[in-house]
Chains A and B, each alone.
Chain A
């Protein structure tokens, strides 16, 4: 039988109609037979529960995982509106998918890592290929999670791919999907095993501007001071807008570039970019998605369209280099929401994504979403990224 994959999408605003439209299209492309696994990404305008339940019904109860994004990506199509959904149905006797979930991850990310590892361990086998993680992007600190997770797994470490769930700048609630359920503050995890492999590529496309800055006070992933100034004061220099009311979009223009750790610098480049996912006006602090210590140097970085284009070409080149002459069974694509409509014109964006897709291969089932943070391994190290594209081609 091999592996047959179908993808469908819909931008209809009625959750039931949209779910049916996308799921039926995916089933039609997949071909006969109940899917073995279903990926779903959708934006948050929908009643998420209705959406997921309807898709699951159409998929005859096949295991389902996914999350909400700022937009969706399929082959030849990107949509960053409040109402879009994409579905990938996979039927395979080569690949196996086991999905699990963990909830209530907000307060203790390390505990969440341990709990997830504990759930995952019994499912691991020698042919386990990778884990896909879809995590609530509003409450998550990746570093303690990863450390605890990998520590718990020990030598059974796996490459992690995925993204942080988004909610279209509302910053109120993101959703993770697990079978019939749409939930928040959790992790939806898929263990992919079997006869297969993944070739991936990651790139950001940001350049440092200005002089070096130093974090002078921080705790975990919270920054309080930059160069001895309250962080929000320091950031005001970079905008004429009111930070209190215009934070969402402005924060995208104020990315922080940290020196890349040595082991991954060669593959990744000079800077790791961090997006300030939240701020607290009362406490006068901002939050990023990994830990940072006081004394850490950084540069303000800006997104560069040319670098982004070049980075995507690099991704496709790397993927193709790894699997010369082979065609991926399907591709999962996690694109930072800071690289979507907030930077590119609609047509530019579409052409960019199409170009990537064509470079990787013609007619390959492709699905992805715009994230609040991307997860992908660099030089064997699992890492969280901002302002990147993480593309995982499954062979």
Chain B
């Protein structure tokens, strides 16, 4: 039994133990929760304590900066966020500017966030303006706009709360943490506890800021009130009108200085005065007005003579006009009554005196009336005269105005600039044309002198001239002077002016006009240049002609001498050299002629590659420049004056060489080109060849390219400015054109376009030239140069002809007639084109043909470029032979007559 009892007891104890064990477990659970609540409670108490302390501090201050600092400080120290920024709204832009930061211990971060500005229009803020209390950005946010501000706020998670109404919150409070430090701070989460904590802080700060704003407004209002009171007090004290202020029960409260002066009573003396009990006012019937005013209505009181002595005060009686103005409080109750007195004693006295005078005058008036009527009539007459004068003056003024308008219209219509300067030379008037001529508005010119508008040297020159003119006070005309356009361009003006004087004859300045003669001067210069060119050309032509005559003698004699020398004679080599020299002299003469007259080319089908290569190589000789050639295989020929074309190409090559002083390569190409109608070169459609010469030189700036073919235009220190001009002229005369492509530093390419022809080039000129064809018959040679005649005769004799020479056309005609009459006519006549002081070739051939229509006349001249030389057939000549000519050329010319079936008559 005992054992059973023990077992039962053990079982009971075990049950108790188990029950206790369960209770213990409950106890531990409960205790754990208790501790947790305790901790939370402590945290909340701490937070509320912080809020309480904050509230106390906020209540002590109206300094907005302090409030902002408290806000961020409480967010970090009280709410345990790592960082906080308060952004204040700018009144002008609405943007939010950081004004207080906390928790940024790195200097760079602190200054960066301290300078943060969030524009009001930032899209991520819009929920706040739409009514949301806050924005939240967590580290895993998908909102890019919010995430963008993580970097700017230096927070990886943050809240932004608005402080103030959604429409325009006066500040934003951002609080949050960096990821690195987040474990040590309050988490940015929307837990009720966190939202409550921040909400409390935001509410407190918002209300403080609102209080600040209210207090600021109140302060301003009080200040305004204080100012108003001060102003009123000053006005009251300083007013020149006597003023009293009464209490609503009639006691005098205050009087101003003007009142004291008016009545001569000290303010203390009226301390017990009550206006409502003033018997004098009652006696004078004024009291009803007073009472009305005290009842609250502004009242004007008629003038009354008030004697203070009657009321027991010292002082003199005064007539016063009074005005009562009751001052009411906002509730409509009368606060004070202001009584103003205007001293009208003098006025009343004056009115009395006036009244007395008026009565005296009325008595005198009767006698005066007649006199007045007479005087009125006189005045009427004078008035009529004056009216007439006024009418006339008005007409004159109208005429003057019309005249002025005419002049103004004329001034403004003329293309010249009309001006006026004072006696110091300063513009006092400028017509609108100054704007067109010099680019300045008239008002820009006024105050300046004419010399202010000129380049300094010109200003000095013209000022010197003008000083002399001004000293003489004489008119002047056509004074040319150079001015500067507003855009910097030079403008040449022609100035004329006349002095003007005031009514006393004092010199006041000049009036005049300026005419823009820039274009005229340019044209004149061009003309002068052309004339100069022409005169040089004439000179060169004359020289060339004489030169050719001389060369004809030289070359002919050399050639004959070589023929007459026995084979192997040493002199033959020397003569060959002399012949080459004379050939070069001949080329020079040809160039002179081309330059001089630019005569029509004497064309033949020309082998371009041969000619180009020769011309270019001539220019490259002795230079550090190498020529590279590329000619199209099917290159067509051109119809060209070989000597002119050669010169043109030579000039282009020289130009290329001079562009490369350090040496280099020039590339010469020639290709066929078909030009279509309306081509950009302005050439007729057809087949052309293009000869291009490309250098590696410094290039030609775009602005100079248009002028590069102008005569005398050069960029070279020693250039004549004629090379490219002649080239252009030659190419143009051949029916082509020339272009330039260039850029600074990239070299230049000159392209000459010449009409091509499909005919093959005739047999090599050299071969043909070398052939000497003998003949027979009588030849008449007419030349005024004896040496030319002699050598021609010698050459003809060598060729087998009989020769007779004459000096001019008259002799030639006589000789020809005589030969015909004798039955031994000349087979051909070689005539010189020009014969000084005698009949030249042109007249001679006409006369010979008149005499003998079958006359075979060959024209020869040193003026190889004379139109007659190229169009000789039109003048009746059968052949042409330019001087200086060689034996084979002479034989060819005579042979030409034979080849056309016109055998030389034996």
In this complex, what residue of B is CB-closest to A348?
Answer: B38
Q: Closest CB-CB distance, A258 to chain B, in whole Å?
A: 18
Check A170 for interface membership: any CB of B closer than 8 A.
yes
CA distance A343 to B36 in the complex (A): 8
Q: Is the pair A345, B42 in contact by a Cβ cutoff of 8 Å?
A: yes
Q: Is the pair B39, A238 in contact by a Cβ cutoff of 8 Å?
A: no
Q: Is the pair A342, B35 in contact by a Cβ cutoff of 8 Å?
A: yes
Q: Is the pair A211, B38 in contact by a Cβ cutoff of 8 Å?
A: no
Q: Is the pair A210, B35 in contact by a Cβ cutoff of 8 Å?
A: no
User: Which of B21-29, B51-59, B133-141, B642-650 contacts the other chain?
Assistant: B21-29
B35 partner, pick from A239, A241, A253, beta carbons under 8 A: A253
Q: Is the pair A237, B31 in contact by a Cβ cutoff of 8 Å?
A: no
CA distance A318 to B74 in the complex (A): 44
B29 partner, pick from A15, A240, A344, A346, beta carbons under 8 A: A240
* B17 CB contacts on chain A under 8 angstroms: 211
CA distance A268 to B343 in the complex (A): 109
B28, B36, B45 — which one has the most chain A CB atoms within 10 A of its CB?
A: B28
In this complex, what residue of B is CB-closest to A168?
Answer: B184
Check B105 for interface membership: any CB of A closer than 8 A.
yes
CA distance A209 to B27 in the complex (A): 9
In this complex, what residue of A is CB-closest to B102?
Answer: A13
Check B77 for interface membership: any CB of A closer than 8 A.
yes
In this complex, what residue of B is CB-closest to A170?
Answer: B183
CA distance A24 to B35 in the complex (A): 37
B28 partner, pick from A211, A254, A345, beta carbons under 8 A: A254
Q: Is the pair A82, B29 in contact by a Cβ cutoff of 8 Å?
A: no
CA distance A157 to B29 in the complex (A): 43
Q: Is the pair B25, A237 in contact by a Cβ cutoff of 8 Å?
A: yes
Q: Closest CB-CB distance, A246 to chain B, in whole Å?
A: 9
Contact with B along A155-175 (1 / 0, CB 8 A): 000000000000010101000
Q: Is the pair B28, A83 in contact by a Cβ cutoff of 8 Å?
A: no
CA distance A270 to B77 in the complex (A): 43
CA distance A44 to B45 in the complex (A): 24
Check A341 for interface membership: any CB of B closer than 8 A.
yes
* A238 CB contacts on chain B under 8 angstroms: 25, 28-29
Contact with A along B63-89 (1 / 0, CB 8 A): 000000000000011001010000000
CA distance A239 to B27 in the complex (A): 10
Contact with A along B547-572 (1 / 0, CB 8 A): 00000000000000000000000000
* A172 CB contacts on chain B under 8 angstroms: 183
In this complex, what residue of B is CB-closest to A249?
Answer: B36
Check B744 for interface membership: any CB of A closer than 8 A.
no
Q: A13-B77, A14-B105, A15-B105 are in contact. Are A209 and B184 (CB under 8 A)?
A: no
* B394 CB contacts on chain A under 8 angstroms: none
Check A250 for interface membership: any CB of B closer than 8 A.
yes
CA distance A13 to B84 in the complex (A): 13
CA distance A345 to B36 in the complex (A): 10
Q: What class of interface size applies to chain A in its complex with B?
A: 20 to 34
Q: Is the pair B32, A239 in contact by a Cβ cutoff of 8 Å?
A: yes
Q: Is the pair B36, A300 in contact by a Cβ cutoff of 8 Å?
A: no
Q: Is the pair A45, B181 in contact by a Cβ cutoff of 8 Å?
A: yes
Q: A44-B184, A170-B183, A239-B29 are in contact. Are A13 and B103 (CB under 8 A)?
A: yes
* A259 CB contacts on chain B under 8 angstroms: none
* A83 CB contacts on chain B under 8 angstroms: 184
Check A302 for interface membership: any CB of B closer than 8 A.
yes
In this complex, what residue of B is CB-closest to A47?
Answer: B105
* B185 CB contacts on chain A under 8 angstroms: 45, 82
Check A16 for interface membership: any CB of B closer than 8 A.
yes
Interface residues of A in 229-253 (CB under 8 A from B): 237-241, 249-250, 252-253
In this complex, what residue of B is CB-closest to A15?
Answer: B105
CA distance A44 to B20 in the complex (A): 41
Q: Is the pair A346, B105 in contact by a Cβ cutoff of 8 Å?
A: no
In this complex, what residue of A is CB-closest to B181?
Answer: A45
CA distance A82 to B35 in the complex (A): 20
Q: What class of interface size applies to chain B in its complex with A?
A: 20 to 34
Q: Closest CB-CB distance, A207 to chain B, in whole Å?
A: 11
Q: Closest CB-CB distance, B335 to chain A, in whole Å?
A: 58
CA distance A345 to B44 in the complex (A): 12
Contact with A along B166-192 (1 / 0, CB 8 A): 000000000000000101110000000
* B28 CB contacts on chain A under 8 angstroms: 209, 238-239, 253-254, 300, 302
* A237 CB contacts on chain B under 8 angstroms: 25
B39 partner, pick from A82, A211, A342, beta carbons under 8 A: A342
Q: Closest CB-CB distance, B53 to chain A, in whole Å?
A: 14
CA distance A316 to B118 in the complex (A): 59
* B181 CB contacts on chain A under 8 angstroms: 45
CA distance A240 to B82 in the complex (A): 33
Q: A238-B29, A302-B27 are in contact. Are A346 and B46 (CB under 8 A)?
A: yes
Check B41 for interface membership: any CB of A closer than 8 A.
yes
Q: Closest CB-CB distance, B37 to chain A, in whole Å?
A: 10
CA distance A102 to B183 in the complex (A): 28
Interface residues of B in 729-761 (CB under 8 A from A): none
* A342 CB contacts on chain B under 8 angstroms: 35, 39
B24, B77, B82 — which one has the most chain A CB atoms within 10 A of its CB?
A: B24
* A252 CB contacts on chain B under 8 angstroms: 35
Q: Is the pair B39, A341 in contact by a Cβ cutoff of 8 Å?
A: yes
* B25 CB contacts on chain A under 8 angstroms: 210, 237-238
A13, A83, A241, A346 — which one has the most chain B CB atoms within 10 A of its CB?
A: A13
Q: Closest CB-CB distance, B606 to chain A, in whole Å?
A: 96
CA distance A364 to B21 in the complex (A): 45
In this complex, what residue of A is CB-closest to B21?
Answer: A210
* B21 CB contacts on chain A under 8 angstroms: 210-211
CA distance A83 to B32 in the complex (A): 26
CA distance A344 to B82 in the complex (A): 26
CA distance A203 to B76 in the complex (A): 37
In this complex, what residue of B is CB-closest to A250?
Answer: B32
A16 partner, pick from B29, B105, B184, beta carbons under 8 A: B105
CA distance A351 to B597 in the complex (A): 128
CA distance A302 to B25 in the complex (A): 11
Interface residues of A in 333-359 (CB under 8 A from B): 341-346
Q: Closest CB-CB distance, B105 to chain A, in whole Å?
A: 5
Q: Closest CB-CB distance, A343 to chain B, in whole Å?
A: 6
Q: Is the pair A210, B24 in contact by a Cβ cutoff of 8 Å?
A: yes
CA distance A15 to B105 in the complex (A): 8
* B80 CB contacts on chain A under 8 angstroms: 82
CA distance A364 to B187 in the complex (A): 39
* A240 CB contacts on chain B under 8 angstroms: 29
CA distance A205 to B495 in the complex (A): 120
* A345 CB contacts on chain B under 8 angstroms: 38, 41-42
CA distance A173 to B65 in the complex (A): 39
Contact with B along A43-83 (1 / 0, CB 8 A): 01100000000000000000000000000000000000011
CA distance A298 to B105 in the complex (A): 49
A253 partner, pick from B20, B31, B41, beta carbons under 8 A: B31
Interface residues of A in 1-54 (CB under 8 A from B): 13-16, 44-45
* A249 CB contacts on chain B under 8 angstroms: 32, 35-36
Contact with A along B312-345 (1 / 0, CB 8 A): 0000000000000000000000000000000000
What 9 A-B pairs have minimum CB-CB distances, sorted nearest first?
A45-B184, A82-B184, A210-B24, A253-B32, A209-B24, A14-B105, A346-B42, A238-B28, A210-B21
Q: A249-B35, A249-B36 are in contact. List 12 more A-B contacts (CB 8 A).
A: A13-B76, A13-B77, A15-B105, A82-B185, A168-B184, A209-B24, A210-B21, A237-B25, A240-B29, A249-B32, A254-B28, A342-B39
Q: Pull 21 A–B residue pairs with CB atoms less than 8 Å apart, ordered by A.
A: A13-B76, A13-B82, A13-B105, A16-B105, A45-B181, A82-B185, A170-B183, A170-B184, A211-B20, A237-B25, A239-B29, A241-B32, A249-B32, A254-B28, A341-B39, A343-B35, A343-B38, A344-B38, A345-B38, A346-B42, A346-B45
**Chain B residues close to A by CB (< 8 Å):** 17, 20-21, 24-25, 27-29, 31-32, 35-36, 38-39, 41-42, 45-46, 76-77, 80, 82, 103, 105, 181, 183-185
**Chain A residues close to B by CB (< 8 Å):** 13-16, 44-45, 82-83, 168, 170, 172, 209-211, 237-241, 249-250, 252-254, 300, 302, 341-346
